[in-house]
Amino acid sequence: MKMIYRKNTKDNQKNSDIQIGIMGGVFDPIHIGHLFTAEEARVKFHLDKVIFVPCLNPTHKRNDHVTAVKHRLEMSYLATDSNSFFEVSKIEINRSGPSYTIDTIKEFRNIYGWDAKFFFITGVDAFLEIETWYKKDELLNICQFVAATRPGYDLNKLHQKFKKVLQIMEIPLLAISSTDIRYRIRNNLSIKYIVLEEVRDYIYQHQLYLRKKVISNIRKQSG
Ligand code: NAP
């Protein structure tokens, strides 16, 4: 396997003008829709960098099975390695307990300084649940939100008051979803071109998302 340089966030980088995208998600697995979303946000909002933050414990998914964080983290490193503006942070992994976004932004603010501007980037469906997020009023005061969605999404679902604090980005590639990728693997369908080669190799090498009996079939058609 290719050796990669771990671009962890640096903790000594203070800059009053810096604009940072925080790409929050479960990334189970990370796919080209996520990567394109991050790159689009970087260019559109003139971000100095985008930091991918795989969450440790998704607060709203306690009953769902989420893949071990070591795998989700490793796939995040592999997927982001080729973009010098992308980094991966273990900030939520190193913090025990639920992955509250407010705690994450505050930690980043301590690292980068209070003048740094943060853009929290995530899927619009995640944002639609914002009323239930921990300390959401404080959160909305200390960072901007960028919500990514596929074209044609009904934005009327979004309450008027959030339209003021939220930037929407239409990303055609978000027709791809992690759920669909997991389904494809379970059902012996190809995931070539919808995740990076390195991520696909990692998934097969570690037999993620597979029912054991289809592993050998998938290997045959994955080349
Ligand atoms: P989710 O329910 O897994 O995802 C909702 C939708 O958004 C899915 O279609 C998902 O597609 C998409 N999505 C998720 N992250 C994305 C991203 N970075 N870029 C583009 N699309 C994305 O939501 P989640 O991922 O668990 O939560 C998203 C973020 O919000 C996480 O960082 C989480 O910690 C945070 N959050 C915080 C709180 C809180 O502080 N209380 C509560 C909820 C969520 P894929 O399945 O393809 O990714």
The DSSP string of 135-191 is THHHHHHH-EEEEEE-TT--GGGS-HHHHTTEEEEE-GGGG--HHHHHHHHHTT---
Q: How many other CB atoms sit within 10 Å of the CB of residue 134?
A: 13
pLDDT value, residue 61: 65
The ligand 1 atom at the shortest distance from the C-alpha of residue 133 is 41
Tell me which of 1-5, 26-30, 43-47, 65-69 is least confident: 1-5
The ranges assigned to domains in the chain are: 15-175
Residue pair 37/171 in contact (Cβ under 8 Å)? The answer is yes
For the domain 15-175, what is the CATH code?
3.40.50.620
Grade residue 65 by pLDDT with cuts at 50, 70 and 90: confident
Atom 2 (ligand 1) nearest CA: 126
Distances (CA, A) of 221 to 192, 204, 217, 218: 10, 12, 7, 5
Distance CA 203, CA 209 (A): 8
Coil vs helix vs strand at 114:
coil
Q: Is 24 in the pocket of ligand 1 (CB under 6 A)?
A: yes
Residue 29: pLDDT band (50, 70, 90) is very high
Confidence of residue 162 (pLDDT cuts 50, 70, 90): confident
Q: Is the CB of 148 under 6 A from ligand 1?
A: yes
User: Is the CB of 177 within 6 Å of ligand 1?
Assistant: yes
Cβ of 138 below 6 Å from ligand 1: no
